[in-house]
A and B are shown apart, each in its own frame.
Chain A
Amino acid sequence: MRLERDVFYIILASLLLMVAIPWTAGLLSEEIFFEWPFFFEVAIGGLLSGVMYSLVALGFVLIFKASGVFNFAQGAMVLFAALTLVGLNEMGLPMWLAIIATLIVMLVLAMAIERVVLRSLVNQEHIILFMATIGIAYFLDGFGQTIWGSEVKNLDLGFSQAPDFYFGGLILINDFDLIAAVIAGILVIVLALFFQYTRIGRALRAVADDHQAALSVGIPLKHIWVIVWAVAGIVALVAGIMWGSKLGVQFSLALIALKALPVLILGGFTSIPGAIIGGLLIGAGEKLAEVFIAPMIGGGIEDWFAYMLALAFLVFRPQGLFGEKIIERV
């Protein structure tokens, strides 16, 4: 109960600061343009971007929960899924069939990773598993491009990219961002429910705590790993579709993992709600900082500010906002 109150106060304080700092900056500096409609425009834009970050962060959280390992290959999986989808679509499959086929590919990939890489690493140090995911990342980057090529591919979902004005024409919001946020939001809710209220969810928490102990009570470790990597693959596909339609399907998609890291630091590596709240706070925080603080110090602070913001939260919550508190007896 006390923990929840802490989290509530931290979030409340950060929201107040996100309003107070830009407003004060606007008062103090002539370089800062501050008007309430513009402030809300930036904040809403940031929140919508934040949902997109959460989408990528979710993949990391799922695998971390199941194996206690930071999956370095999550960005590569996003790229691989998007390349496969567009590649199959270009070969003539209709989009719905290409999506189903890509889901099957991601499932097969999950099974292959479990069989070839993970199975022999049961009960090894986490750093060994982490190193293995680095190998998987490089393999997927190269393999995906070898099969589907390195050219930029267009992924057009048919959504409007045009700006729309809301609240009496005062606030500009991009329709595509809204749609992407809704899709990401639905996925997040489904996953949260699935892992919170099913046996698999409990089983994967047990696996994360201790591989051998989980095996000893009859939890089928290899099945859990396959399920989790497959779900991470599905999340990667959704992220790949949304980001790919925004940036084009190209190698740079693998780099969006960079946008998820501060979200994970802030939200905690083990919490699905943490990935959501973390994404929203990082998204809004970095955009407000870039618009209302950056002009005073030369601009271009968005990326590193996100990490700084995340680290600031760690001062108050070392395990991340929603992360599990680790108590180890010595």
Chain B
Amino acid sequence: MNIKKVKTGIIAAAVGMACLVSTPAVMAAESQYIGSLVYRTGPYAPGGIPWADGFADYINLLNERDGGINGVKLNLEECDTAYNTDKGVECYERLKGNGPTGMPAVMPLSTGITYALLDRVVADKIPLITSGYGRADGSDGTIFPYVFVPPATYWGGADIAINYISQQEGGYGNLKGKKIALVYHDSAYGKEPIKTLEALAAQHGFNLTLFPVPHPGLEQKSTWLKIGRQLRPDYVLMWGWGVMNATAIKEAAAVNFPREKFIGVWWSGNDADMVPAGDAAVGYKSLQFNGVGADFEVHKMIKQVLYANGKGSAKSEAGIGEVAYNRGVQSAVILTEALQGAMNEFGNKPVTGEQVQWALDRLDIDEARLKAIGAEGLFDPIKLSCADHLGKGRAKMTQWDGSQWKSISDWIEPNNEMLGAMYKESAAAYAKEKGITPRACN
């Protein structure tokens, strides 16, 4: 009797398991799989959570409102990297084959993971989209066919920051003799703008002083005593990350350095960075490659379709419109527009990474399309080509008013002529090192 019961139990469990296993497979056959590398845990989670929420909300909005893309439902799966490179690679390997056609593109959200995946994505034919991080020379599509870097690069960010300062000072001619300091995370990421800033310092005659901050940047008193009491620069730029950002802003206040002359790159401009800095952050400026605020049509749709029905990803509607949230939406827009482009070409069914790469090579999100999405003014139009995997690379300046970011400039375009040559030179060196033959783009 007991044995019979056990047998029945085993059979029931087996049937149940079979159902569990087969259900996603059936769903997967109909839907477009999207693997998303996020970091909702770990030391950088405060910036990772709103990004992941924004990304998921936009994907869910398309599913709930439009039934997916061209009638193909989207099936989102997250994998938490905790911002660790090893976990990131593990996530990529785990997700890349999921769904009927595999992962159509990967957004690693980390320069470290980006570098670790560079060779793998070429072998797997999966586009690597790095928005505002990763390799700046990935903008050269002839050398990096599977790397896409819209809407901006660190090199462009450095140029835009100097462009903005020149506007404040009444023109590039007035930069001569000015003192500009760079406080940077002492890592490959933090060092990214140095080459560009050195070139600009030589060109415009300002004095550049570098202040590396060792990871994680919990203690910066000596750095800021040097800046605020000794060097007394006209402007300070920051390429910071995580807890380093708030600490730097507080230490800047502690030595009375004017926050209005303190400019961070976009990764030093999250809402989460401003919270612990409190009043010390009022007046601090940051570049952003996306608009700020929650007053755009796409936000209204997300609130109406998802949050009103309890389907939002963030804990509450209050998270909508945070800078990192908007960036998540932007990344989702870039990916889903590419998916749509691929489906338009290859048929309304799940598409492969190779097909998405084809679409990214032709990605054109113009003003009209942004308006249709509900993101007019929130994002800058993006137009890519086989050779150009960046676009215009524009960003805008924003300022923290104590409770939110305010946009204080229009989109600023970097000197793409100068930067384009630098991208090409760097990409050519990479191609030589790796033995890559540039593809023809006509």
Contact = CB atoms under 8 A, between A and B. Distances in A.
Interface of A: 33, 38, 41-42, 45-46, 49, 142, 145, 149-156, 161-163, 172, 174, 176-177, 246-252, 254-256, 258-259, 286-287, 290-291, 295, 298-300, 302-304
Going nearest first, the 10 A-B pairs with the smallest beta carbon separation are A248-B276, A300-B212, A150-B45, A252-B243, A290-B222, A152-B46, A303-B214, A287-B222, A251-B43, A174-B254
A41 B242 CA distance: 28
Interface string B207-218: 000111110101
A250 B250 contact: no
A16 to B, nearest CB: 21
A154 to B, nearest CB: 5
Contacts of B272: 151-152
B219 interface: yes
A45 B222 contact: yes
Contact of A299 (B211, B242, B273): B211
Contacts of B213: 300
Given A161-B250, A248-B243, A249-B276, 20 more contacts: A38-B230, A42-B222, A46-B222, A151-B272, A152-B273, A161-B253, A162-B253, A163-B255, A172-B255, A246-B247, A247-B243, A250-B45, A250-B243, A252-B243, A286-B222, A287-B225, A291-B225, A291-B226, A299-B212, A304-B214
Contacts of A290: 222-223, 226
A45 B278 contact: no
A300 B254 CA distance: 20
23 contacts: A33-B230, A41-B225, A42-B222, A152-B272, A152-B273, A153-B275, A161-B253, A162-B253, A172-B225, A176-B254, A177-B254, A246-B250, A247-B247, A251-B45, A255-B243, A256-B218, A258-B218, A291-B226, A299-B211, A299-B212, A300-B186, A302-B222, A303-B214
Contacts of B49: 150-151
B311 interface: no
B226 A152 contact: no
B369 to A, nearest CB: 33
B42 A251 contact: yes
B240 to A, nearest CB: 12
B40 A247 contact: no
Nearest to A256: B218
Interface residues of B, number: 42
A247 B276 contact: yes
Interface string B31-70: 0000000001111111001000000000000000000000
A161 B255 contact: no
A300 B315 CA distance: 39
A248 B217 CA distance: 13
B246 interface: yes
A287 B220 CA distance: 9
A251 B219 CA distance: 15
B362 interface: no
Interface of B: 40-46, 49, 186, 210-214, 216, 218-219, 221-223, 225-226, 229-230, 242-243, 246-247, 250, 253-256, 272-273, 275-280, 315
Contact of A247 (B221, B230, B246, B280): B246
A260 to B, nearest CB: 11
B225 A45 contact: yes
A65 to B, nearest CB: 26
Contacts of A174: 254
A163 B254 contact: yes
Contacts of A303: 214
Contacts of A295: 226
A252 B216 contact: yes
B276 A38 contact: no
A241 to B, nearest CB: 13
Given A287-B222, A302-B214, A248 B275 contact: yes
Given A49-B221, A287-B222, A156 B216 contact: no
Nearest to B184: A300
Given A150-B49, A152-B46, A252 B278 contact: no
B218 A252 contact: yes
Contact of A250 (B40, B226, B276, B278): B276
A42 B255 CA distance: 12
A291 B231 CA distance: 11
Contacts of A33: 230
A183 B135 CA distance: 46
A149 B40 CA distance: 10
Contacts of B256: 162-163
A255 B221 contact: no
A290 B223 CA distance: 8
